[in-house]
Structure 1
Amino acid sequence: MDTITEFTSGGNTVLGCWLIVASFVFNTPAVSRWHDVLVGATIALVAGYNFTRSIRRRPVNMLGAGSVTVLGCWLVVAPFVFGLESPPLWNDVISGTIVASFGSYNTYVATIADRSPPFI
């Protein structure tokens, strides 16, 4: 795989860890705190798996990258569902936007790697 895939997978792993820590740093309400911990841990684990695949020059997992993209999109919407106010609101929106962007790139790369070459 390429360097960009390593960067995006590694970046999502770091952002997943940041979501876990940030929920305690910003002292968010309990429901939102555990939501961020669960979503952040899932993003960190799945993106970490894709990161290890990319540094071993294997194609990233398309289902995993797609799941991270969906979780990133959910992070953009979730603060409004939970009624958060700023810092935690903007932390989730900005982190979710970056996670969704990186995840969609990884999903795109995984789809290209999954295609078989045309029969000539």
Structure 2
Amino acid sequence: MAATTDLTAGGNGLLGCWLIVAPVVFQVPAIGRWNDVLVGATVVLLAGYNYVGAGRRPASTTAAGIVAVLGCWLVVAPFALGLAGPALWSDVFSGTVIAGFGGHDAYVGAESRREPFA
């Protein structure tokens, strides 16, 4: 499972980097820009933590769970903040993938800590 966690955490890290850059690309208003930058930086840090430790320890369920929640927020945020056009769809797509990958990592981390049924 470490290889899958490598892929999902690495993918979330790349999507977090995209969120930091996307507001400049799409000329997003200030509130949307700060939302994307802060969420993107948090996703990069937490996904990076799971990526770096994937071979040595199970994925952190807390870090992955926070990433999944932030992904869900990204799906809702463009509508709540009044974004439109490509910026809206960039956040919705990125949020959907981030939430899915984060949820997967949280599940894998929780399962790896579970005691085997005897």
TM-score normalised according to structure 2 size: 0.96
Aligned partner of 1:20: which letter?
I
Partners of 1:104 and 1:94 in 2: CA distance: 15
1:30 has 2:48 as partner: no
1:4 has 2:33 as partner: no
Offset at residue 58 of structure 1 (A): 1.3
Aligned position for 1:79 = 78
Partners of 2:48 and 2:2 in 1: CA distance: 16
Structure 1, unmatched stretches of 5+, are none
Offset at residue 2 of structure 1 (A): 2.5
Aligned partner of 1:50: which letter?
N
Aligned position for 1:68 = 67
Partners of 1:2 and 1:38 in 2: CA distance: 28
> 1:58-114: per-residue Cα shift (whole Å, max 9, x none)?
101000000000000000000000111110000000000000010010011011011
Offset at residue 4 of structure 1 (A): 1.1
Aligned position for 1:111 = 110
> 1:7-34: per-residue Cα shift (whole Å, max 9, x none)?
0000000000110001111110001101
Partners of 1:86 and 1:79 in 2: CA distance: 10
- Identity among equivalent positions (%) equals 56
Is the partner of 1:58 in helix, strand or coil? coil
Partners of 1:93 and 1:117 in 2: CA distance: 38
Aligned position for 1:46 = 46
Aligned partner of 2:93: which letter?
I
Partners of 2:27 and 2:114 in 1: CA distance: 45
Runs of 4 or more, structure 1, over 6 Å off, are: none
Structure 2, unmatched stretches of 5+, are none
Aligned position for 2:92 = 93
Partners of 1:52 and 1:80 in 2: CA distance: 34
